[in-house]
Amino acid sequence: MAGNQAGVAASPNIVDQRRDTMLASAAKLIAERGFSDTRITDVAKRAGASPSLVIYYFGTKDKLLTEALRYSEDAFYRACADMLAGTTDVRQRIERFVTLTCVPGAVDEQAGAWGLWFDLWAQAFRHPLVAKDRIELDRRWRSTIASVVAEAVAAKEISKVDAEAFALAWAALLDGLAIQVALEDPVVTPERAVDIAMSFAEQALGLPPGRNGPPVDTSHRGRASDAGP
């Protein structure tokens, strides 16, 4: 075993810690340098491990990219779970989805998370295995949105709508807006991105116009991050 140089089997906790350390290091490096300029040896050095150990855990650089993104996304989905548990009001939930996605610093996620997504999309365009992982990650995002809408329909909080169709369209809109925010487009500010996303949701779900939640903090720049891509 590459990671067991002493010949003693590592405990599951140690294995998990090693893996998490390598994923955190990979996520930070890819966010800083980009995927093409990040080498397995760089990740190993940052994580205090050997290149062979990184390869043992992840096999390929492409797989390391997708796993690093999953690791980064976990913070986002933990925030989503906390948000969903904190209120059953569909408008508040929709507003918080927008804030978590389009407002930098709204969630304690891996710095440069959008940079990871940029690299994932670029690799998925040409590499079928990465494309498969991209589909899984996007499915998780759409399912999270659809579940909120479906619950609101079941509770008769909103009229019956196609939750899956809404999630597909709205997720694409949120992603597009957040990309512009992450790239610091002078026209698509976080505040404007929030307004556009909420306007679409209000029309599609039959919600009355006007936000009920707390004011959006748009004092940060950069699913966007403080560091940007």
Tell me: pLDDT of 4 over 50: no
Local confidence band at 133 (pLDDT 50, 70, 90 cut-offs): confident
Neighbours of 28 (CB within 10 A): 21
2-6, 64-68, 73-77: segment of lowest average pLDDT: 2-6
Number of H helices, E strands in the chain: 9, 0
Round to whole Å and give the CA distance between 71 and 190. Answer: 25
Tell me: pLDDT of 172 over 60: yes
Helix (H, G, I), strand (E, B) or coil at 198: helix
Q: Are 178 and 223 in contact (CB under 8 A)?
A: yes
Which pair of tokens denotes residue 216? 């959006």
Neighbours of 71 (CB within 10 A): 18
Percentage of the residues of the chain whose pLDDT score is greater than 90: 47
Where do the structural domains in the chain lie, given as residue ranges? Answer: 72-205
Provide the pLDDT for residue 69. 78
Phi, psi of 158 (to 5 degrees): -135, 160
Helix (H, G, I), strand (E, B) or coil at 153: helix
Round to whole Å and give the CA distance between 26 and 38. Answer: 8
Round to whole Å and give the CA distance between 53 and 152. Answer: 47
pTM listed for this prediction: 0.74
Tell me: pLDDT of 227 over 50: no
Name residues whose C-beta falls within 8 Å of residue 70's C-beta, 6 or more positions apart in sequence: 137
Provide the pLDDT for residue 70. 82
Helix spans in 4-127 (H): 12-33, 40-47, 51-58, 61-86, 90-102, 113-124
Q: What average pLDDT does this structure show over 68-79?
A: 79
Local confidence band at 195 (pLDDT 50, 70, 90 cut-offs): very high
Round to whole Å and give the CA distance between 7 and 2. Answer: 10
Q: Residue 165: in which H helix or E strand, if any?
A: helix 163-182
Tell me: pLDDT of 112 over 70: no
72-205: CATH number: 1.10.357.10
Local confidence band at 12 (pLDDT 50, 70, 90 cut-offs): low
b or e along 38-48 (b: 16 or more beta carbons within 10 Å of the residue's beta carbon)? bebebbbebbe
40-54, 60-74, 172-186, 202-216: segment of lowest average pLDDT: 202-216
